[in-house]
Amino acid sequence: MVSAKPRDSSEIFFSPFSDGIVSEVLRVFLVKYGKQWDGRGAHRIVGKTPLEAAAAIVEDYGLPCTTNEFISEVTPLFTDQWSNIKALPGATRLIKHLNCHGVPMALASNSPRANIESKIACHQGWKESFSFIIGGDEVRMGKPSPEIFLEAAKRLNMEPSSCLVIEDSLKCVLEADALQTLKVTGYAYCNGITRPGVMAGKAAGMEVVAVPSLPKQAHIYTSADEVINSLLDLRPEKWGLPPFHDWIESTLPIEPWYIGGPVIKGFGRGSKVLGIPTANISTEGYSTILSEHPSGVYFGWAGLSMRGVYKMVMSIGWNPFFNNTEKTIEPWLLHDFDEDFYGEQLCLAIVGYIRPEANFASLESLVAKIHEDKKIAENALDLPLFAGYKDDLYLRSSLHKN
Ligand code: ADP
Ligand code: RBF
Ligand code: MG
């Protein structure tokens, strides 16, 4: 990682939308052809041009249409979805924070400017927070050309070297506005190794933090100064920007979210290999809610229908140490049980975030880190801010009444 230069004022450029919309559009679209979007297709289309991505879907799903027909059919579906586009987790928090500290920000995207404006219209406070919005139709060449970022720096009257670019994957390349950008700006896709936004930022002489919006994609952002799993992991002070002050005792309070289901069999290694049992629940039915929350280590309260409510620390994701291909939900209930409870209904109120999932040099260091997470969660859940959720109706109503 390149170390950050301290700066008096910095500029931030980023495109803070999540990719959930792509899955949603393709899910609805494929049903029309009697097919089921399995979500995993997202990996097959990432890093491709819009045309290549469309061709891959037509081929993979054996659709009875040409690539161009597919494109003209999905484009209006994407447009309809713009008002439903969810912000990337942590985007509103970050925009508010930087705005409150008077950090000038610009929003620079390859999408035509009018599309960007429609997309952010439903996010309160966003438009006013950016000094400028620059669309792909306002420059000769879109990303990966540095032009859009250089233009943003010029308009902000700042040196490119004192600007920070925060770049997500710029969404799945299939998204409708990317298709339009292709026509409008003659956007040239360079290669599948580095994402266009990262290339553009580096070519503009700026520091770049990349936030891959699909899992296991960090390797295609290698030229970024830092790759973070989600905006929750951004430490502004690393880049000479004012730090967040909402972390409390190593935890980040979040808007609580809720998932539940019967306890299922996992990989059979939690207790055996790590000495840490995790009462897995199925991810089925939670694809939307899970796509709205970054993978990582969280904590909260767990209601076990036949037993009660317990403190809980969990990981959600691909367990990088084991390089799983399936995303799993792995809650460790912080209580000693004298028997297994497979099949029992488990409800989770997730109230705070601790850290991204990580890889470790050894099993011992993974286990040590999980025990550290446990301590953090145990202490945090005693704070009034988190303790109250123990009585959350969602958990209480799931308990078996005798
Ligand atoms: P699996 O791979 O099948 O999830 P684990 O080794 O992770 O197996 O063990 C998890 C199981 O252990 C749970 O499903 C539950 O029945 C039991 N268990 C016992 N104590 C706990 C605990 N404190 N937290 C979570 N699960 C526990
Ligand atoms: N697995 C990882 O590969 N990396 C992690 O950073 C990680 N953190 C975890 C944190 C907690 C609190 C828990 C309960 C589990 C974590 N695991 C992590 C998941 C662990 O690998 C998983 O539970 C076992 O592999 C059982 O399948
Ligand atoms: Mg388990």
Give the Cα separation of 210 and 224 in Å (integer). 6
188-202 burial: b if 16+ Cβ within 10 Å, else e: ebeeeebbbbbbbbb
Per-residue pLDDT tens for 365-402? Answer: 999 999 999 999 999 999 999 999 999 999 998 888 75
Give the Cα separation of 370 and 349 in Å (integer). 19
Answer yes or no: is pLDDT of 310 > 80: yes
Q: How far is CA 400 from the centre of its chain?
A: 35
Annotate 25-70 with three-state secondary structure. Answer: HHHHHHHHCCCCCCCCHHHHHCCCCHHHHHHHHHHHCCCCCCHHHH
- Closest Cα to atom 14 of ligand 2: 314
pLDDT band at 117 (very low <50, low <70, confident <90, very high): confident
Q: 0.95 exceeded by the pTM?
A: no
pLDDT computed for residue 303 by the predictor: 97
Q: Among residues 321, 306, 318, 276, which one has the least CA distance to residue 401?
A: 306
Does 205 contact ligand 2 (Cβ within 6 A)?
A: no
- According to DSSP, residue 229 is labeled S
Q: Among residues 146, 149, 163, 167, which one has the least CA distance to residue 210?
A: 167
Does 322 contact ligand 2 (Cβ within 6 A)?
A: yes
Answer yes or no: is pLDDT of 21 > 70: no
The H-or-E segment that residue 321 falls in is: none
Answer yes or no: is pLDDT of 127 > 60: yes
Distance of CA 265 from the midpoint of ligand 1 (Å) = 8
Q: Where are the domains of the chain?
A: 1-246, 252-396
Give the Cα separation of 78 and 54 in Å (integer). 14
Give the Cα separation of 141 and 98 in Å (integer). 28
Which ligand 1 atom sits nearest the alpha carbon of residue 269? 6
Distance of CA 390 from the midpoint of ligand 1 (Å) = 21
Q: Among residues 277, 290, 401, 286, which one has the least CA distance to residue 342?
A: 277
Answer yes or no: is pLDDT of 283 > 60: yes
Give the Cα separation of 286 and 87 in Å (integer). 18
Closest ligand to residue 267's CA: 1
Please give the full DSSP string across 110-172, using - where no structure is assigned: SS-HHHHHHHHTTSTTHHHH-SEEE-GGGSSS-TTSTHHHHHHHHHHT--GGGEEEEEE--S-
- Which of these ranges, 1-15, 129-143, 160-174, has the smallest mean pLDDT? 1-15
Give the Cα separation of 17 and 196 in Å (integer). 16
Class of the domain covering 1-246 = alpha beta
Q: Which residues pair with 283 in a beta bridge?
A: none
Does 316 contact ligand 2 (Cβ within 6 A)?
A: no
Tokens coding 132: 């400028």
Answer yes or no: is pLDDT of 194 > 90: no
pLDDT band at 46 (very low <50, low <70, confident <90, very high): low
Which ligand 1 atom sits nearest the alpha carbon of residue 263? 14
Which ligand 2 atom sits nearest the alpha carbon of residue 374? 12
pLDDT computed for residue 23 by the predictor: 74
How many other β-carbons are positioned within 10 Å of the β-carbon of residue 174? 28
Closest ligand to residue 377's CA: 2
Does 339 contact ligand 1 (Cβ within 6 A)?
A: no
Distance of CA 88 from the midpoint of ligand 1 (Å) = 32
- Closest Cα to atom 22 of ligand 2: 270
Per-residue pLDDT tens for 135-167? Answer: 888 888 877 789 989 999 999 898 999 999 988
Q: Is 325 exposed, middle or buried (0-12, 13-18, 19+ CB in 10 A)?
A: exposed
- According to DSSP, residue 191 is labeled -
Does 267 contact ligand 1 (Cβ within 6 A)?
A: yes
Q: Mean pLDDT score of the chain, rounded to an integer?
A: 82
CATH of domain 252-396: 2.40.30.30
pLDDT band at 14 (very low <50, low <70, confident <90, very high): very low
Beta-strand pair 226-227/252-262: unpaired
User: Helix 50-60 crosses helix 176-185 at what angle (to 10 degrees)?
Assistant: 140
The H-or-E segment that residue 314 falls in is: strand 308-317
Q: Among residues 136, 120, 110, which one has the least CA distance to residue 83?
A: 120
| The two domains 1-246 and 252-396 share their CATH topology (first three levels equal) | no
